[in-house]
Every structure is written in structure tokens, then in C-alpha cells.
Structure 1
């Protein structure tokens, strides 16, 4: 969807991604074929190569920035699983709700296509009902994104700091996702801290995309932790389960396992009570991804110049219309503008400072971010509820 003001300010938003794919009639999110064309991009790259700054031609982009993809995992959802985390009365039920919500945030992009690499200072601001979400690209070298989301009605706060480090190993791209995610249930006095699995993009022998690795979720206030293992089929497809998730919820102090987690994050996930043997479905992908709504521009004048949907509007519009020459020009224009700003700051001796986050470096070389405001304000771009 393209929105313009009287002064020709342009904002382009596209429909949210879903794990269920898209119709044959719509080629907006379809990768170039055959697979050899995709592999040709890596012909001069050896195993272990860091792809952080690898530039894709627009033909291999879909019309979204990484910031928009991160934000969608929070505000584009069929069932409001985030509010459920705060509504359960018992600590165990709240913890189980947080586990299921964390699974719902893991929707991979489509094979053969990738979002745009955000430019420094790029922002993305969207609201869904009382949930307000604000993201900012707080570093470009290395690329680091920060997210702050608040819901004053539900007394919920989210703070994420995320750095993706993609590397090519000869048959796949392993995208390591570094950084921590915090979910705060403010009226409960509980903070849940978690990490993200890695994104595995396989080219051979069968192309595909999966989440892979271990996730730990912990809440010191209620003394519970969870360990989740996201898996996939082996290289030849002889072992493992497609898009599987297995794990447990246990007491931090005694290490006693209370529940077993088992299922597939693109279908259903169950939780089995070790004491009673009772099994409950805690996650249903069909509910999470059904009826996803495309955001709309509610207040065009309130859209920041740094908004993803404005920064990349020309490129997104060109991709959606399959005008690849225009897309190439639009992408080059955004990148050249950023180079000019970098040269300008360098000539003045200026150091760029994020607008919405304070940033610190951790002992292990990672990043921490702290929002500069208590509550995220309502956004000019909103997700309709019906």
C-alpha cells in the first residue's frame, strides 16, 4: 500500500509475512528460480565468510526492512498471545504463556529473499490497539537493532537488542542472532529474559529455512526457567524433525523438571505435566498466523523521515511493481545518501547518537540498549483490529 501527502511524502507498507506462504497469483514474495541463480550470488565466497555487509541485488529483496520484520513479530499476530502472559494468575501459568509467546515471535523470512539492511538511525513505529512498538537501528557497523514496546493498559514492556551475524559455510547461511530480549510484566514485578535461536538458510541438498539452536528463558522473580531446542532435519534429511521444538520448564533452585515441551513451531506445541501426565496444547500456529492485518498509515504527517516505510518507499514500490531498473536506482540512492551523511559527520568530527536508546557494550563484546522514554507513544502507523 502506497500513501502520499500533499507534499508527496511517500510511505509504502506491505502485508505481513506468514509461515504459510503466499498465493500463486502474487509474486511479491517469490524468490527468483532456479536455485542455481541464488547460489550464483555466493560463487566467489568461501566457507566461513561473514555476510554481514553482503549486498543483494533488489531482485532478491522483498519490500521490507529488517526493522519491519522484527516489529511484525510483535504487532502482527492473529491471537494476542502477549496479553495472555499477564492475565494468568499463577506464576507457572504465566511462565508457560511467556514460553508460547516466545515461540510465536519466530517466523522466518522466505527462502531466496531477504529484507533490506537498515540504515543508521532508521526507525519503525507501529501501534496495535494499546500496544505501541518502536524500533531503531542503533549501529550500522556492526548492524544492531533495538526494540522498545509498551502496553500501558496491560502493564507490559518489551526491550530487545539484536545483532545478526550471517556466515556462509558452503551449503548454508547460518545467521547467528546475538543479544537478549526482555519481557517485563510490570504489575507482577516479573522480568523474563531470553535469547533467540539462529536462522539456518540451507541451499543444498534441498533448499529450506529453519530456526536452529538453543533458547533459554528465565525469570528470577518466580524461580522458573525453560530450555528449548529448535531443530531441523539433517543434511540428507534422514534424521531430525522439520521445524521441531523440544524442551522443558524447571525450577531454578532444585533443577526439578515440571513440564516437558514438544512439538513443531509451525504447527502445534504441547506441554506435559510431569506430575499428572496431563498434556496441554500451549501453541497453535494456525491461530497465531491467521487473519494477519496489513498496517495502515493513520497519520501521514506524524511519520518520521527516518521511518522504514518512508526511507525505503521508492525501492519497495519498485519491487512491488517488478520495476527492477527503478529498484536498483532507488536502492543506490538510499545507500549513497547514507555515505554522504557519514562523510559529513566525519568532516565535522561528529559522533552519531541514537535518538530513542542509550547504548552500552557488554563484557563479551555484545550490546545492551536502554529506552530513553518510559512509555512508547501511539504511532502514526497502526494495525487494524478488524
Structure 2
């Protein structure tokens, strides 16, 4: 299995040479201090690498002039980012992509072996990283925006934007095998040509058969080459999945991408019992597949056992403009929507739809309209002395301590289940949901100006 690498000798010398060369390239381009990182390694194409990417030269120059004042800052809440770096999906929809390989949770729920149960559950969480490697930014949800998903493995999924500053989302998913809940508040640090993303959230998964509760702490993510060069994603660090009921846990190390691409995508680690003894080794790549094998107390494979694949990424569409999977397209379509869709649903956003159709100009103008409507709703609300109250989630008094800061917890209040029981999937009004108007506003469909 891959191990952590330490610098020194030849590699330190190479790193120094590469850093000097990159500085020369940056200076020639007028971006002194920015670093271009080639995920494939090497120095011979550093200047070519610097010129690659989705930006035209004039767009890149203008964006850098706007962004350089934010170096070192958290840019999560920025609304001035250009539409050309977005994908036609919101963060709430991106949260739903984790449901693609939910068959793994059926296996986990039905599994009698408590350690294999963790193998299935950990592989389910890892499966989402293939979608997270996309280099396009999802739209920030409007306060009160929702996303619903049905018609996939019996799952009912609901997510809601519960706070605007700082941006916070909450989601709940459930079927006959599991209950999934997350409170998510992403924290970022802009570094010039890259951004560090810290997953400031709490994720809990309940398997219904035995009632065990699992909690996830994911590794941070780094998005490289934002302004020039090929944009790519790395998530170096530990992912820890703990069985809060038994004390068993999974600790998986996501290898950082090294020189010449060494270690990129690789994930290695173990399932431990409550006594912190390794029971099963896990290894693979987060963009292709994961495998497992029983091991001894030294972490070595048990004689007579084989390495077995537990998860493999599904075939993706070739040359997709936004690097979407087939499931991502389903998430964006009305095929996974309940017929009687909430008017606050992400699919109905005019800016998202315009971008999906390839109209960047309209997407940009519609994004501005929605943001102004959001500001108008806030002014209306504050003028009435009222505060925003989420519809489907309630804020609790619980504070979760994470490696990147404290987090207030929102819990599913059950009202969505009551709503669906009352309305069902029947379109009682005969409304064509594809023509519904996006409306997450608490005080009516506010106009662009007061």
C-alpha cells in the first residue's frame, strides 16, 4: 500500500528547481507570486501548463485584478464570481450526488459483520469524491432554497439552505435501510491561484437494522490552478469514520499528489475495532475503485485471503462539458423530482437553467437578479423585525467541534415527511413543474427592487 512520502535529497532539489522555474513563468505572465502546479509533474511544460485552462487571457487578467485583494480570505460568500467558472448545479444538488451508490448502504445495513459494515459505509463516502473532483463551482444556494430527490433506490432526499452568512446547508435522506443527516458550512482560504476548502460540517449516518450511528470527518480539499493552468482537485489527509455505537472506526489516508503524479487519487487505511486493532485493510483510488482484505494485528493481509473489490465508479459520459456523471444529469433533471415540486427547488433557478443551455450572458444577468431579490427579501424581513426560519430543519442548541471550527447543528424536523404524506407525488393542481417559477422567498415573490 502507498505510504506517506517525506521530502529530501533529489526530490527536494527538484522541488526547488521547479519552484524557481514556476516563479519565472509567473513573472513573465504578470502573476508574480502565483504558483502553477502541474498534476502530471515535470518541469518541461511549466509555461505551457500556465497558459492552459478555461480562461481567455483578457478574462484571466480581469479576474485576477478583482481577486488579488482577497488572498488569504474566506471567499465562500462572494457573489461577484463570474458565471464562466460555474456549473449548472447548486451546492444543494451537489450534496445529493452522494446518493448515487446508496446500494452500498443496503449492504452495510444487512451485513452481520460489524467491520465489513464499515467497509461498505466508508466506500459509500469515498464514492462521492469522483463527483467532487469536478473543477466547476456550483451556485451558492439562495436562502430558503431547497432540493428534493425521489425515484432513486427508494430514497427521499431533502436539502435546504438554512443560513446565508455564513452559508450553511442542511440535508436529510432516508429509505428502508438508512437515515443520513448533515449540517454543512464550508470554510475556504483563497491563496491566489488555489483555494483550500475545509469541510466544516457534521455528517451522521444511521443504519436501521441494528441502529448503529456512524459519524464522518472528511479530509480538506485543495483546488489548484484557479486562474491559470488546468484546474484540478486534491484532497490530502485523513478520512475518519467512527461507529459511535461500538467505538469501531475506519481511518483512511488520502495521498497527496506528488511529483510526476505519484500517489494521486490513492487511498489506504484500515478498519479498526474498539481496541484500535486493525481488522480489515482498505486500498484503492477515489476516482476508480476501492478494495478490502482481512488483515492481522500488524496490518498484513491474512494468509489465504484475497483482495476484493467493494466499489467501482460507474462509466461516465464521454467528453461531457461539465464533467458530469450520468447520475449528475439525473440530479439536474426533473426525472428525480416529485411531481408536486416545491417552488424553492434548485432545478427552477433561472441562472442555473440558462447556464445549462449554454447562455452565459443570460445566466450572469439572472444570477444578479436572484441575488438582488435575496437582498430585497432580507430588507423586507428586517423591516418587519423578523428573522429567517428554515422550513424543514430546526437549529438546535448543540455545537459540534470540528478540526476547522465550531458548528451549529440543524436537525430534520419531520415537517417535510408530513408535507409529502399530505401532498404525495400527485400534481393536484395540474401544474407543469418544468414551467414553475423559482420562489424561495419567505415574504412572497419579491421584486428586483423595493
State the secondary structure of the residue aligned to 1:179: strand
Aligned to 1:250: 272
Whole-angstrom distance in 1 between the partners of 2:125 and 2:283? 14
Aligned with residue 241 of structure 2, among 190, 213, 217: 217
Aligned with residue 368 of structure 1, among 409, 413, 419: 409
Aligned to 1:267: 288
Asked if 1:281 corresponds to 2:309, the answer is yes
Aligned to 1:160: 182
Aligned to 2:49: none
Q: 1:319 to 1:363 in 2, by over 3 A?
A: closer
Asked if 1:332 corresponds to 2:368, the answer is yes
Structure 1 contact 358–371 (Cα < 8 Å) conserved? yes
Could you give the per-residue CA deviations for residues 7-32 of structure 1, whole angstroms, max 9, x where no partner exists? xxxxxxxxxxxxxxxxxxxxxxxx73
Aligned-CA RMSD value = 2.7
Larger helix percent: 2
Structure 1 contact 178–195 (Cα < 8 Å) conserved? no
Structure 2 contact 149–338 (Cα < 8 Å) conserved? no
What displacement does 1:67 show?
0.4
Could you give the per-residue CA deviations for residues 329-368 of structure 1, whole angstroms, max 9, x where no partner exists? 2111110110011001111110111111111351643121
Q: 1:339 to 1:374 in 2, by over 3 A?
A: closer
Asked if 1:196 corresponds to 2:218, the answer is yes
In the alignment of these two chains, the number of paired residues is 341
Aligned to 2:85: 60
Whole-angstrom distance in 2 between the partners of 1:114 and 1:350? 32
Q: 1:288 to 1:258 in 2, by over 3 A?
A: farther
Aligned with residue 231 of structure 1, among 245, 250, 255: 255
Asked if 1:51 corresponds to 2:79, the answer is no
Aligned to 1:103: 126
Deviates more, 1:43-52 or 1:166-175: 43-52
What displacement does 1:228 show?
1.4
State the secondary structure of the residue aligned to 1:167: strand
Q: 1:350 to 1:181 in 2, by over 3 A?
A: same
Asked if 1:41 corresponds to 2:63, the answer is yes
Whole-angstrom distance in 2 between the partners of 1:287 and 1:221? 36
Structure 2 contact 282–291 (Cα < 8 Å) conserved? yes
Q: 1:261 to 1:133 in 2, by over 3 A?
A: same
Whole-angstrom distance in 2 between the partners of 1:36 and 1:228? 42
Could you give the per-residue CA deviations for residues 53-75 of structure 1, whole angstroms, max 9, x where no partner exists? 2231122211111101111222x
Aligned to 2:139: 116
State the secondary structure of the residue aligned to 1:362: strand
Could you give the per-residue CA deviations for residues 153-202 of structure 1, whole angstroms, max 9, x where no partner exists? 33x10001111112112341111111111110122120011122222111
Aligned with residue 354 of structure 2, among 318, 330, 335: 318
What displacement does 1:287 show?
6.8
What displacement does 1:240 show?
4.3
TM-score (norm 2): 0.69
Could you give the per-residue CA deviations for residues 96-150 of structure 1, whole angstroms, max 9, x where no partner exists? 1111111112221522x21100111111011124110000111110111111011
Q: 1:40 to 1:85 in 2, by over 3 A?
A: farther
Q: 1:195 to 1:375 in 2, by over 3 A?
A: farther
Aligned with residue 263 of structure 2, among 241, 245, 267: 241
Q: 1:165 to 1:194 in 2, by over 3 A?
A: same
Whole-angstrom distance in 1 between the partners of 2:411 and 2:232? 36
Q: 1:298 to 1:262 in 2, by over 3 A?
A: closer
Q: 1:308 to 1:291 in 2, by over 3 A?
A: closer
What displacement does 1:288 show?
9.6
Asked if 1:72 corresponds to 2:87, the answer is no
Whole-angstrom distance in 2 between the partners of 1:35 and 1:69? 30
Q: 1:217 to 1:301 in 2, by over 3 A?
A: closer
Asked if 1:359 corresponds to 2:387, the answer is no
Asked if 1:82 corresponds to 2:105, the answer is yes
State the secondary structure of the residue aligned to 1:50: coil
Whole-angstrom distance in 1 between the partners of 2:326 and 2:183? 28
Gaps of 5+ in 1: 1-30, 382-386
Structure 2 contact 184–201 (Cα < 8 Å) conserved? yes
Larger strand percent: 1
Aligned to 1:27: none
Whole-angstrom distance in 2 between the partners of 1:332 and 1:187? 47
Q: 1:208 to 1:299 in 2, by over 3 A?
A: closer
